Amino acid sequence: MTYVMSDIHGNKRNFDSILKQINLQPDDELYVLGDVIDRYPDGIKILLWLMKRPNTWVLLGNHEYMMLKAIDKPYEHIKWRTRNNVEQSLYHWYRNGGKVTHDYLKRIRKDTRRLIFDYLHSLPINMNIEVN
């Protein structure tokens, strides 16, 4: 079976409820159309769970992109990345619910943060799939 969801926004209660309802099996496919993080506190936990699943595909959502733009080091080489632009990116991310995600990220190990950022950098922004 193929399942599609989006805009989880860190709401683990709703996410767990959906997983319980669909009873995801190893031969099923789950596509997540971005926006796993922000607004609710468990976006990073959900993202880490998704990262471990071989039958799960995730698209980079605008919330993940805002986070990368605001706080990820690989963007430091970009010429537009001035202090003012970084502050604006952080403000924009926070305004869209990113503070709860940032607060969580500050409490986890640096190597885990790097794994998350590397994973997010590897995500596509679209994909073509054929069902049936």
Residue type, 110: K
pLDDT tens-digit series, residues 78-109:
555 566 777 888 999 999 999 999 999 999 99
DSSP bridge partners of 30: 3, 56
**Tokens, residue 100:** 């709860």
Gyration radius (Cα) of the chain, Å: 15
List strand residue ranges (DSSP E) for the chain, in order: 2-5, 29-32, 56-58
Query: Does 73 have pLDDT greater than 80?
Result: no
**Tokens, residue 126:** 């679209």
pLDDT tens-digit series, residues 25-69:
999 999 999 999 999 999 999 999 999 999 999 999 999 999 998
2-5 β-sheet, strand order = 2-5, 29-32, 56-58
Query: Does 77 have pLDDT greater than 80?
Result: no
DSSP bridge partners of 58: 32
Tell me the whole-structure pTM to 2 decimals: 0.91
Q: What percent of the chain has pLDDT over 70?
A: 92
